[in-house]
């Protein structure tokens, strides 16, 4: 389908709608965006939220809209995961094949906003849609700026027509109830943001090239670096536990609780600032959803409205951007099909991928959360550690044939459905065969394990794929 001059209306969800609008405008569609919030130029300097972890999928989209080089100037490579225990002991887990890049959400929104303006994307901020007229393919929306300036309410309503309406709002989507019955599922955890300021020499207080994680009971504090020498920290805590938010953030208890749970982070944030941030920064719920029905004629749900995932595994923002690319590909590949047929076909294919990502992001959250607890038996923990170590060795020695689950999902262009249902199954079988032969039969030590010992296993693994699969998965 030729989308040139098609009227495409997008309802709020930056940075997704910004990337969508830029891509669609570059193909000469007439794009209009209605955004509930203010122009990001007015607030981006003070906005703090969970940092974005850039992966290959993200970079592919940013390259498509010609801003990758600019974005990377503001991104910091995290080459390893560093865990901090209560005794201040550090343990590093290297990301051998591909680092994770940290960038603040406010920065990337600002870059995308300026790019959209340069392509004459029509964006109206501070508005809300009040009516969707499906019979006439139009919406009625209210200009909240005019309303706040004192104009009579009846003069603040406007109408905008569309050929396609992309609805990309949040988890509690205002239109999803019309299209789909599913509701967001709440994980019994909440999170709160903190900031570790720069040191007196305007430098990072801790290693900037690490993703820092502190586990305590069922509580977890992560820290990602920013280019202004600060760290954005996110504290995750369960609803009911000794380390719940109710206990930690009791006004009379915040200082003692934080100092006990995270003594090194307490020292980095310092007492007065901790109290200020506790009162200033709000607590948010962890929510996720996967929907079966995502379209209704020429209306399409994208992003969190359709498949919100937990912000773990480096898949949250990357899933949004994959939505954008694949949706536009679906439009361009269609011939004379109706919008309803195109949307249903796209939905059926995309759902297979987003359902996998939904499960993997939750599994990764559980894995990170339980790593700090004492839930594993000695044997279970030993086997888990052996498998992780083997994955790293295989990835280092055979980078073109083997990658860890995380790199397969986040840093390749292979569909998550294929990764889960073909590659990871075969890789798991490979790991079991190697571990059984090495450790339990021949009792090799890690130092004795060489590329020559691994080669026969990897050769059989690669040959287990059909020629077409090899071409798709290993290049």
pLDDT at 447: 61
Residues of CATH 3.50.50.60 domain(s) within the chain? 7-45+105-182+290-362
CA 254 – CA 272 distance, rounded (Å): 11
Task: Quote the pLDDT of residue 154.
Answer: 75
Q: Give, for all 475 residues of the chain, the pLDDT tens digit.
A: 788 889 999 987 666 667 778 888 888 889 999 988 777 666 665 566 678 888 776 777 788 888 889 999 999 999 888 988 888 888 887 776 678 889 888 888 888 888 888 888 888 888 888 899 999 999 999 888 777 777 777 778 999 999 999 888 776 677 776 777 677 788 888 888 888 999 888 899 999 999 999 887 678 899 999 988 999 898 888 876 555 666 666 656 677 778 888 888 888 887 668 878 877 777 888 888 888 888 889 998 887 777 777 777 666 666 777 787 888 888 888 888 899 999 999 888 888 888 888 888 888 777 766 655 445 555 555 667 677 778 878 888 887 788 887 777 777 777 787 888 888 888 888 888 888 776 555 555 556 667 887 888 888 888 888 887 777 776 5
Q: Mind listing the pLDDT tens digit for each residue in 378-423?
A: 555 566 767 777 887 888 888 778 888 777 777 777 778 788 888 8
Please give the full DSSP string across 16-36, using - where no structure is assigned.
Answer: HHHHHHHHHHHTT-EEEEE-S
Query: Does a cis peptide bond (omega within 30 degrees of 0) precede residue 358?
Result: no
pTM, rounded to two decimals: 0.80
Q: What's the confidence (pLDDT) of residue 119?
A: 82
CA atoms of 451 and 463, how far apart (whole Å): 18
Which pLDDT value is given to residue 225?
A: 94
- What CA–CA distances, in Å, run from 82 to 54, 64, 269? 18, 33, 18
- Angle formed by the axes of helices 378-397 and 451-463, to 10°? 80
* Dist. CA 284–CA 191, nearest whole Å: 5
What is the predicted pLDDT for the residue at 374? 44
| Rounded Cα gap, residues 97 and 411, in angstroms | 9
| Cβ atoms within 10 Å of 458's Cβ, excluding its own | 17
Residue 281 CA: distances (Å) to CA of 83, 188, 244, 274: 25, 20, 16, 10
Q: For Cα atoms 349, 62, 227, give the angle at the middle one, nearest 5 degrees.
A: 130
7-45+105-182+290-362 fold: FAD/NAD(P)-binding domain (3.50.50)
Give the pLDDT score at 140. 93
How far, CA to CA in Å, does 26 sit from each of 40, 125, 128, 390, 459? 22, 21, 26, 45, 44
- Distance CA(214)–CA(220), nearest Å, equals 6
Burial class, 16, CB count within 10 angstroms (exposed 0-12 / middle 13-18 / buried 19+): buried
Residues paired with 225 in a beta bridge: 231
């Amino acid at each position: 389908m030729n989308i040139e001059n098609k009227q495409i209306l997008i309802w709020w969800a930056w940075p997704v709608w910004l990337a969508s609008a830029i891509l669609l405008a570059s193909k000469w569609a007439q794009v209009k965006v209605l955004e509930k919030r203010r122009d990001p130029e007015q607030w981006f300097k003070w906005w703090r939220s969970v940092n974005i972890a850039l992966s290959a999928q993200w970079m592919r989209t940013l390259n498509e809209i010609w801003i990758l080089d600019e974005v990377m100037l503001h991104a910091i490579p995290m080459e390893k995961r560093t865990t901090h225990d209560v005794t201040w002991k550090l343990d590093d887990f290297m990301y051998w094949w591909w680092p994770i890049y940290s960038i603040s959400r406010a920065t990337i929104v600002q870059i995308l906003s300026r790019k959209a303006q340069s392509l004459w994307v029509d964006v109206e901020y501070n508005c809300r849609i009040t009516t969707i007229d499906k019979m006439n393919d139009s919406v009625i929306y209210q200009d909240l700026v005019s309303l706040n300036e004192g104009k009579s309410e009846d003069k603040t309503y406007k109408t905008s027509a569309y050929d396609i309406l992309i609805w990309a709002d949040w988890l509690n989507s205002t239109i999803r109830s019309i299209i789909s019955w599913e509701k967001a599922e709440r994980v019994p955890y909440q999170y709160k943001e903190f900031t570790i300021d720069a040191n007196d020499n305007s430098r990072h207080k801790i290693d900037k090239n690490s993703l820092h994680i502190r586990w305590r009971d069922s509580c977890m504090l992560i820290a990602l670096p920013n280019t202004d020498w600060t760290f954005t920290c996110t504290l995750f805590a369960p609803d009911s536990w000794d380390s719940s938010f109710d206990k930690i953030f009791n006004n009379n208890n915040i200082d003692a609780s934080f100092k006990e749970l995270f003594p090194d982070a307490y020292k980095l944030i310092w007492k007065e600032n901790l109290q200020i941030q506790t009162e200033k920064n709000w607590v948010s719920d962890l929510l996720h959803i996967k929907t079966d029905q995502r379209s209704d004629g020429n209306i399409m749900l994208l992003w969190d409205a359709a498949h919100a995932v937990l912000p773990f595994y480096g898949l949250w923002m990357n899933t949004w951007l994959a939505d954008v690319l694949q949706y536009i590909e679906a439009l361009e590949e269609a011939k004379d099909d109706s919008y309803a047929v195109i949307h249903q076909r796209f939905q059926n294919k995309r759902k297979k991928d987003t359902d996998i990502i939904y499960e993997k992001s939750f599994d990764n959250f559980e894995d990170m959360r339980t790593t700090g607890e004492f839930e594993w038996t000695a044997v279970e923990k030993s086997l888990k550690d052996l498998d992780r170590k083997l994955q790293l060795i295989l990835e280092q020695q055979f980078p073109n044939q083997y990658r860890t689950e995380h790199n397969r999902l986040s840093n390749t262009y292979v569909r998550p459905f294929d990764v889960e249902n073909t590659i990871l199954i075969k890789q798991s079988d490979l790991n079991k065969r190697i571990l059984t032969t090495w450790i339990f039969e021949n009792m090799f030590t890690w130092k004795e394990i060489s590329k020559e010992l691994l080669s026969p296993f990897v050769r059989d693994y690669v040959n287990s794929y059909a020629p077409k699969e090899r071409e798709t998965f290993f290049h």
